[in-house]
Amino acid sequence: MAHVEQLVGSYRAWAANGASGAPSWLKDLREGGIARFHDLGFPNMKQEAWRFTSVAPIAEGSFELAQPPARTPKLDDIRPFLLFETGYRLVFLDGFFQPSLSTPFFDDIQSLAHVVAHRQDLVRQHLGTYAATQDRPFSALNTAFVHEGAFVHVPAKATIAEPIQLLFLASGAKQVVSHPRNLVVIEREARASIVETYASLGQGPYWTNSVTEVVVGEGARVDYHRVQRESERAYHVATTQTHQGRDSTVHLHTVAFGAALARHDIGAVMAGPGGTLILNGLYLLAGQQHADHHTTIDHAADHCESHEYFNGVLDEKSRGVFTGRIIVRPGAQKTDSKQTNNNLLLSTDAHADSQPQLEIYADDVKCTHGSTVGPLDPRALFYLRSRGVGEAEARRLMTYGFAAEILGRMDVAALRAELDRIVRDRLAA
């Protein structure tokens, strides 16, 4: 509890000083966020949504609000995390925008703070509209500290050919917390591909608490990729919330490799009829890592389809938690929804929890979910060995194949190749 007070205190100090120049609507949004966080406090394991994940290391740890970094990294420092050096790119260090490393585009692909200062209308219209804070303490806390993050706006009927890269780096030198807040607005019939990456330059413990809101207009399409490769001592808490208009398409890919403790809440609202959603995720954990994914697909309109695939590879003493909820609202007829969560346990100390959930209030629907937990198939292993593949190599091949199923759904070739390389490296280790 003491720590809740400490965070509220650091908010007060920050609001009175560094953030005092904000417009009044933004101040109101922040005040609402901190009040909510103060009421909710940190979640505990008695709460249904947090049954399998203890946030004690965050709640009991001491994290100072990140300060602007003293030194700007060089392009060479961040090159390992870039997929391409061309195209639009926004780079942040400890939550602060790094103009010298970024290639923004006017007020459309820009730092959020810049857009708030220069062109408020869109931000004001959308910010905080989609990501719930009511029962989400971390989202509320992020809202309290809304200041900086990525802003992407694609006007109606426009197509941005090359993927937009959003890179969030931690210096990993001090025990700090950053609250990146991202807003993506894809207008009607527009199209874009985005890669959001979280990584670290150092090895120290730090805490990232990010929220991303993605609004997709009528007939628009977004391919959203999220790569979480934080340092192994990091804490990563995130919310991704999408909101889809009529006949729109969202392909949301998420990959979690890093962090000691990671929690990712993914929410998707299908608000208009005829929408399509693909939610495609992979978590690859080892050591003592703990990753918890909570997904909620809300079929609020009729004639939408959603396909969700989550694969987990759990080695050593790691633990993977998956909760996938599909809600079909009254009247959302002709919904077609499929969900699968498969977990591979590579060690006797690994541990998987899986809660696929269907909540259906309409009758003319097709909804299925499936979930499996198990070791590698001994017959397939036997087959490979009978063909002269050594046991370790056979296990690696099969595990790679299990992970590659998810990577294969991604459209950005450079990203697929990079993730493929990371998966192979991790399996070789």
Partner 1 sequence: MTSIEAHVQQPYKYGFVTDIESEVVPAGLNEDVIRLISAKKGEPEWMLAWRLKAYRNWLKMSEPHWPNVKYGPIDYQAISYYAAPKQKPKLDSLDQVDPKLVQTFEKLGIPIEEQKRLTGVAVDAVFDSVSVATTFQAELAKYGVIFMPISQAIREHADLVQQYVGTVVPYNDNFFAALNSAVFTDGSFVYVPKGVRCPLELSTYFRINASSTGQFERTLIIADEGSYVSYLEGCSAPMRDENQLHAAVVELVALDRATIKYSTIQNWYPGDEEGKGGIYNFVTKRGKCAGVNSKISWTQVETGSAITWKYPGCILQGDNSIGEFYSVAVTSRKQQADTGTKMIHLGKNTRSTIVSKGISAGRGQNTYRGLVKIMKGAEGARNYSQCDSMLIGDKCGAHTFPYIDVRNSTAIMEHEASTSKIGEDQIFYLRQRGLSAEDAVSMIVNGFCKEVFKELPMEFAVEATRLLGISLEGSVG
Chain residues that interact with partner 1, rule: CB under 8 A: 48, 330, 333, 343, 345-348, 350-375
In whole angstroms, what is the distance from residue 381 CA to residue 273 CA? Answer: 45
What residues contact residue 280 under an 8 Å CB cut-off, 6+ apart? 251, 252, 253, 254, 308, 309, 310, 406, 409, 410
Q: How far apart are CA 342 and CA 287, in angstroms?
A: 20
Q: Give the nearest distance from C-beta 421 to partner 1 in angstroms.
A: 26
The burial class, CB within 10 Å (0-12 / 13-18 / 19+), for 51 is: middle
In 257-304, beta strands by DSSP E: 261-270, 276-285, 290-299
State in angstroms the smallest separation of the CB of 361 from partner 1.
Answer: 5
Q: How far apart are CA 311 and CA 120, in angstroms?
A: 40
- 3-state secondary structure at position 41: coil
Task: State in angstroms the smallest separation of the CB of 365 from partner 1.
Answer: 6
Pick between residue 99 and residue 374 the one whose CB is nearest to partner 1: 374
Q: Which is nearer to partner 1, 102 or 343 (CB)?
A: 343
Tell me how far, at minimum, the Cβ of 340 lies from partner 1, in Å: 9
Nearest to 285, CA basis, from 312, 322, 324? 312
Cβ closest to partner 1, residue 276 vs residue 371:
371
Q: Crossing angle of helices 24-40/2-16, nearest 10°? A: 170
In the chain, the amino acid numbered 2 is: A
CB 343 within 8 A of CB 373: yes
Residue 337 Cβ vs partner 1, minimum distance, rounded to whole Å:
9
The CA distance from 31 to 39, in Å, is: 12
Q: Considering beta carbons, is residue 121 or 363 the nearer one to partner 1?
A: 363
Q: Is the dihedral of CA 260, 234, 322, 138 positive or negative?
A: positive
CB of 252 to partner 1, least distance (A): 22
Question: Considering beta carbons, is residue 278 or 362 the nearer one to partner 1?
Answer: 362
CA distance 205 to 222: 33
Q: CB-wise, 18 or 370, nearer to partner 1?
A: 370
Q: How far is the CB of 258 from partner 1 (least distance, A)?
A: 23
Contact 332, 362 (CB under 8 A): yes
Q: How far is the CB of 204 from partner 1 (least distance, A)?
A: 31
* Residue type at position 307: H
Residue with Cβ nearer partner 1 (102 or 296)? 296
Nearer to partner 1, 152 or 332 (CB): 332
Nearest distance, CB of residue 328 and partner 1, angstroms: 8
Give burial (CB, 10 Å; 0-12/13-18/19+) of 283: buried
d(CA 240, CA 149): 14
Nearer to partner 1 (CB atom), residue 43 or residue 95: 43
| Of residues 185 and 365, the one with the C-beta less far from partner 1 | 365
Contact, 236 vs 258, CB < 8 A?
yes
- Give the CA distances from residue 115 to residues 25, 45, 207, 235, in Å, rounded to whole numbers and listed in that order: 14, 39, 25, 29
Query: Least Å distance between CB 331 and partner 1?
Result: 8
How far is CA 311 from its chain centroid?
Answer: 15
Least distance (Å) between residue 284 CB and partner 1: 16
Nearer of residues 110 and 343 to partner 1, judged by Cβ: 343
Give CA–CA dist 291/283, Å, rounded: 7
